[in-house]
Every structure is written in C-alpha cells, then in structure tokens.
Structure 1
Amino acid sequence: MSRPLLSVVIPIYNEESALPELFMRLYAALDQLRLPYEVILVDDASIDGSPRLLREQFPRRPQETRVVLLEFNVGQHMAILAGFRHASGERIVTMDADLQNPPEEIGKLLAEMDRGYDYVGGARIDRQDSWWRRHASRAVNGLRARTTGIRMTDQGCMLRAYERHVVDLILRSEEVNTFIPALAYRYARRPAEVGVVHEARVAGASKYSLMRLVALNFDLMTGFVRRSNRRVVVNESFIR
C-alpha cells in the first residue's frame, strides 16, 4: 500500500455494541472520498469484546486497517497520541467510536482544509446529549478558554482534522496531561471550525460521568498550563 493521504484515528474503550455499525459506515464513507486512506483503531484496554471485534475487522480490510491494542487503560487523549504515532497520512482525522460524530462528516472537514486551513475542529450542531451534559460542557468550554487562552466554539468535539505538521509538533511536545485540541490550535498556522452533525449514540452509554468529566478536564487544563516534559511510555501491540 502506498502512503495514504488520510489517516483516521479512533480511540476505543468498551464499544463492542457500536463497532459493527461503525465499521459499516466508516469504510463506506471513506471509500466515497476516493483517496488513499488508513483507519487506525486504538483499543484502550477494553474489558468487553472490542479487542476481538478489532482483530476480526483487520482481515476484512487489511490494506486500510491498523489495530493498536494498549496493554493498560491510559485514557482517550493518550490513546489518540498512540494513534498519532502510527499514523502515516498527510492529513489525520480523529473521531469517537460511538458514532455521535458521523463518519459521513469527514469530507466536510477535508473540504475546509482544501481552502488552506491546517487544523479544522468540528463544532457540534444540535447536540444530542442530555441537558446536564450540554450545560456542563458549556461551562467547561468557558473555563478552558480562560485557562488556556484559546477560544474555540466547541472544544469537546472529537471530530477534528490535522495537517501532518501539526500532529508532528504535538508528538514532539511529549505532553503527559495533554489537551490535544488546544495544542493543535497553538501549533496551527490557520485554524478553523466547521459545523458538524451530532447524532445520538447508536448503542451503549457514555464512559464519562459528570465527576469524571470534571476531573478529566482539570487534568487536561493544568497539564496544558504546566507544559510538562515527562514522557509516558505505553505498552502496546500492533496489528498491521
């Protein structure tokens, strides 16, 4: 396989019930783009059947599929960084596995990059979340903006697109507690946002309670401000 133009990185934790539909819609949407791509599926030490489904998916689309199995649960952001380290595309897109970020929206982000933007964040339209989650997210967005000095409409949307040089700078920074969207905003020469569809989860439940969301964002924000240089080594196996 020649070097792909696009890498799609998806962190996965206990998404066994969502993965079959994810695979069906994701590959169909990417095939429609008619460009060389790879899908990097990063399992964050799931305790359900997710690793088994990832192993079964690989031989179905071996040319386009990369599977990274983390030995320990390290959290969503560190799982994304693990995916970044394996991504070889000129453009890298991240998205959740629960299909609240429809893979059919990836083309919208790439079209914005074609206009010269090197980092495009998705801004969720008509969020399909509970009342408390929407309002908690709004409050956290405001706090993150004041803490990091970076203002984005929707800092919590996982559907984002990065040019290669932005990802390389993120990896080079070797942050431990890393708020990836804020780092990307800092390193990008021309950042932008675009409205994207937000759907209800196809199955399962969110992995983040209110208290866990607060704790996660505290770690990410304080880590961003401290800019720690400690590097975390994650044990992983790779299926290629």
Structure 2
Amino acid sequence: MEKNLKRIKMKISVVVPLMNEEDNIKYLIEEVEKALKNFDYELILVDDGSTDNTVEEIKKYMNDKTKLIILNRNYGQTSAMAAGIEVAQGDIIVTIDGDLQNDPSDIPMMIEKLNEGYDVVAGIRAKRQDEPVRKFLSKIANKIIRKITGVHITDYGCTLKVFKKDVAKNLQLYGELHRFIPILAKIYGAKITEVPVKHHERKFGKSKYGFNRIFKVISDLMYLVFMQRFGQKPMHFFGTVGFIMFSLGALIDLYLFILKLFGESIGNRPLLTLGTLFIIGGIQLITTGFLAEIMIRTYYESQNKKPYIIKEIVTKNG
C-alpha cells in the first residue's frame, strides 16, 4: 500500500476541531506528522473558544504544516469543523477528533480507499473504547438514524472521515450536523463507503459529550429528514398535510350541514369546533408551504454567510 500511496500527489488537509485539549496537542501534531510523512499535507487546528492553554500549546508545538484557526468564541464542534473546511486548501479533506481516540495512522488506508472511486470514506470505530452506556446509546441512535434516513452508515458518531474536496466544501454544516455528515453527503450526491478504524481510550482531558446533546441531535435529525425528502420542494410536505387537514375539516362541516338540513341541532357538537380547526390549520399549513418555498429560493440565491467568526489565523511563519 505504501508504494501506491507515494504515487498520490494530491494535497491532504486534516481538520481538527479543538476545545480544551491542551494535553493532547503535542501528541496530536506528532502522530499526524508520523502518519502523513509521505504526503503533501496541512494540519488545520481549529480552537473553538478554549479556556485552557490549548492555543498556547499549539503555538508551542506547531510546525510548518500546521495552521491554527482561532474562533472568537465557542460555537460548537460543527461550526469549528466548518471553519476548518472553509480554510482547507487540500484536494482531500480529513476530519478527526483532537482527543487522540481516533488514530491518524488510519488516514493513509482511508485515502487509498477513497481513490477506489468513492467521494467519502467514513470510519467505523472497531473495538470502541468508551463507557458501556455511551456505546449502548450510540448503537440505538445509529439504528434509528439508519431506519429514518435510509442512509446505512454503521457508526455516525465517528469523526474520522475522508472526503473529496468538492463534497466537504458543500456540506453546509450548521447546528450539530457534524454527526449527520453522511446524510448531508448523500443529499449532495456523494458515493460513500466505510472502513473499520482503530479507537483508543482518552488519555487526557474530559469528554465534551453529555445527555444534554440528545435533544439537539433529535432536532437536527428531524430537520435533516425534512431536507432529505422535501428540501427543494417544502410545499410537497406542507401542502399535502394542509390539504388533508383542510379536506377533513370540510367533510366534517359538510356532515354537520347535512344534519342541520334535517333539523338536527349542531350548536353544541364538538365536531363543529374540530372541523373549523382543521380547515384553519390546513389553510395555515398551505400558506406555510408557500412561505417555505419563497425562503428556500431566498436561501439558494442569497449571500453565503457563515455561522461563525474567525478571529485569527496563525501559521508557523506568521
């Protein structure tokens, strides 16, 4: 494999979002350098509002291939990853966690796999070194995501992924969407495969993941399912649901009208209120569909604004 890899002349950009990882910086830079010694590469470290000495440690150990991006505050892993991808100049873009649980030595193997004709290669954490509860919840979440989206990726939580440049640059990462990159890539039209990768115990620092993220993940998943199925035609969703509600309301009111014709009293019937609510709700949903269509067109035609602000970009040579 090494022989084949030496023939690959494309530049590699390794993007690493970081938040309070001061103890991992030295080893991270060393491991990436060791893994990619036969490649033309750049290491992009994105500081996402660290409150420890992460920035100082990066400046201390960075080499000529290291680029430090400092965000003006904490935005979250997705925005930090998006900032790194924006700055990346490589033909191939790699995303990897900064806690050294992912192993940079897997990158060459994944690049070789990418060059078999794929657009994205996703990692599967083999022999995952995390707490049993976290692994159990992750397994359930992966199964639910696969079932709902139809995108059959084994390990959505593995940050280690390799992309062709055009795919990575068009992911449109917001919120907590870094977890759903394979879905975003699929929406873009990418050809995706996955390979087993190594996974290590965290040696330094603390995990940033907690149960409070579950609701954010659920919200983003709902958004992605909508975008996947109705992203370019939201009227197909709102219009269909609105038409069904409007029709039910109209049928209920027609039934009550017929009863009235035959002399029945309808003034105190709950169906009267229900039918009216269905009609009003249906009209509102259809109107929402029209507004969503207009917003979609505005979104695609508007300026490309970013959900983060880059405070500074630092290189070894200033």
Tell me the TM-score normalized by structure 2. Answer: 0.67
Question: Is the Cα–Cα contact under 8 Å of residues 118 and 188 in structure 1 kept in the other structure?
Answer: no
CA distance in 1, matches of 2:168, 2:151: 18
Question: Is the Cα–Cα contact under 8 Å of residues 119 and 185 in structure 1 kept in the other structure?
Answer: no
Aligned twin of 2:21 = 15
Secondary structure of residue in 2 paired with 1:167: helix
Closer, same or farther in 2 for the Cα pair 1:85/1:195, shift >3 Å?
Answer: same
Aligned pair 1:181/2:172, yes or no?
Answer: no
Identity %: 33
Q: Which consecutive unaligned segments of at least 5 residues does structure 2 have?
A: 1-8, 228-295
Q: CA deviation at 1:232?
A: 4.1
Aligned twin of 2:52 = 48
Q: CA deviation at 1:77?
A: 1.1
Pair member with larger Rg:
2
Tell me the TM-score normalized by structure 1. Answer: 0.88
Q: CA deviation at 1:235?
A: 1.6
Q: CA deviation at 1:140?
A: 1.1
Q: CA deviation at 1:174?
A: 6.3
Question: Superposed, which structure 2 residues align to 1:111-122 within 5 Å?
Answer: 111-122=112-123
What one-letter code is carried by the residue in structure 2 that aligns with 1:23? I
1:136-159 per-residue CA deviation (whole Å, 9 max, x = no partner) reads: 101111222233332201111010
Question: Superposed, which structure 2 residues align to 1:1-240 within 5 Å?
Answer: 5-31=11-37, 34-58=38-62, 61-62=63-64, 64-170=65-171, 173=172, 175-176=174-175, 178=177, 179-209=180-210, 211-227=211-227, 229=299, 231-236=305-310, 237-240=312-315
CA distance in 2, matches of 1:107, 1:141: 26
What one-letter code is carried by the residue in structure 2 that aligns with 1:114? N
CA distance in 1, matches of 2:10, 2:192: 23
Secondary structure of residue in 1 paired with 2:205: coil
1:162-188 per-residue CA deviation (whole Å, 9 max, x = no partner) reads: 001111221xx4655533232123324
Aligned Cα root-mean-square deviation (Å): 2.1
The structure whose RCO (Cα within 8 Å, separation 6+) is larger is 1
Q: CA deviation at 1:202?
A: 2.0
Question: Is the Cα–Cα contact under 8 Å of residues 94 and 161 in structure 1 kept in the other structure?
Answer: yes
Q: CA deviation at 1:117?
A: 1.1
Q: When you count helix as a share of all residues, which structure comes out higher?
A: 2
What one-letter code is carried by the residue in structure 2 that aligns with 1:220? D
1:90-134 per-residue CA deviation (whole Å, 9 max, x = no partner) reads: 000000011110111111111101211110000111110110000
Secondary structure of residue in 1 paired with 2:206: coil
Question: Is the Cα–Cα contact under 8 Å of residues 7 and 92 in structure 1 kept in the other structure?
Answer: yes
The number of equivalent residue pairs is 230
Q: Which consecutive unaligned segments of at least 5 residues does structure 1 have?
A: none
Q: When you count strand as a share of all residues, which structure comes out higher?
A: 1
